[in-house]
């Protein structure tokens, strides 16, 4: 998948980049779902929050290397949207296969009809976030705008 096929600047915005201190897994997921629920593509914030929590209870969304990609496809979402959470201290409880605490969360919501685009997007983001240099720069960012620019530029 090329970067032109996935315009990250349309998926995420600086307003949906959150920085976390010490939080629980649930607190991080709820805060990120609430931020993502503000995206114009999301029509039912409560449903998104509920489904994200259910999805992560069913199976951890941690993919290793300090990354988790919580996600949901819902009829109340009109198009792909995302939010990012950064926690340099790490969030325990995600049960990652490598036992690393999660430091970067990339939450994705999509329409229930966007199966292929949704799967390609998840795959692309996972590949992008596995770049150690990008992860380190994101975790060192000081503002949502800086993290947004790093993400959009680093995945391009």
One pLDDT digit (tens) per residue for the chain, 156 residues: 333 345 788 899 999 999 999 999 999 999 999 999 999 999 999 999 999 999 988 988 999 999 999 999 999 999 999 999 999 999 988 988 899 999 999 999 999 999 888 888 888 888 888 889 999 999 999 999 999 999 988 876
Domain boundaries, the chain: 3-151
State the pLDDT at residue 68: 94
Q: How many CA atoms lie within 13 A of 155 on its CB side?
A: 27
Question: Cβ(64)–Cβ(100) under 8 Å?
Answer: yes
> Which stretch of DSSP H or E encloses residue 109?
strand 102-111
**What pTM, to 2 d.p., does this model score?**
0.91
Catalytic residue among 25, 49, 71, 103: 71
Dist CA 156 CA 141 (whole Å): 18
State the pLDDT at residue 119: 85
Which residues 6+ apart lie within 8 Å of 94 measured at CB? 25, 60, 61, 62, 68, 101, 102
Is 71 considered catalytic here? yes
Which residues 6+ apart lie within 8 Å of 18 measured at CB? 31, 32, 35, 83, 84, 85, 86, 144
State the pLDDT at residue 6: 58
Q: Which of the following CATH numbers is that of domain 3-151: 3.30.420.10, 3.40.930.10, 3.40.50.10330, 3.30.930.10? A: 3.40.930.10
State the pLDDT at residue 79: 94
State the pLDDT at residue 4: 36
């Amino acid at each position: 998948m090329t970067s032109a096929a996935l315009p990250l600047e349309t998926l995420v915005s600086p307003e949906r980049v959150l920085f976390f201190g010490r939080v629980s897994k649930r607190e991080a997921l709820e805060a990120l779902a609430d931020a993502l629920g503000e995206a114009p593509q999301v029509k039912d914030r409560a449903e998104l929050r509920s489904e994200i929590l259910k999805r992560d209870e069913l199976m951890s969304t941690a993919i290793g290397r300090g990354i988790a990609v919580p996600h949901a496809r819902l009829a109340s979402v009109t198009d792909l949207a995302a939010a990012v959470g950064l926690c340099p201290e790490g969030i325990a409880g995600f049960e990652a296969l490598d036992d690393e605490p999660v430091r970067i969360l990339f939450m994705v919501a999509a329409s229930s009809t966007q199966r292929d685009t949704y799967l390609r997007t998840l795959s692309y983001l996972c590949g992008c976030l596995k770049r150690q240099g990008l992860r380190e720069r994101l975790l060192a960012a000081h503002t949502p705008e800086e993290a947004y620019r790093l993400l959009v530029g680093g995945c391009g």
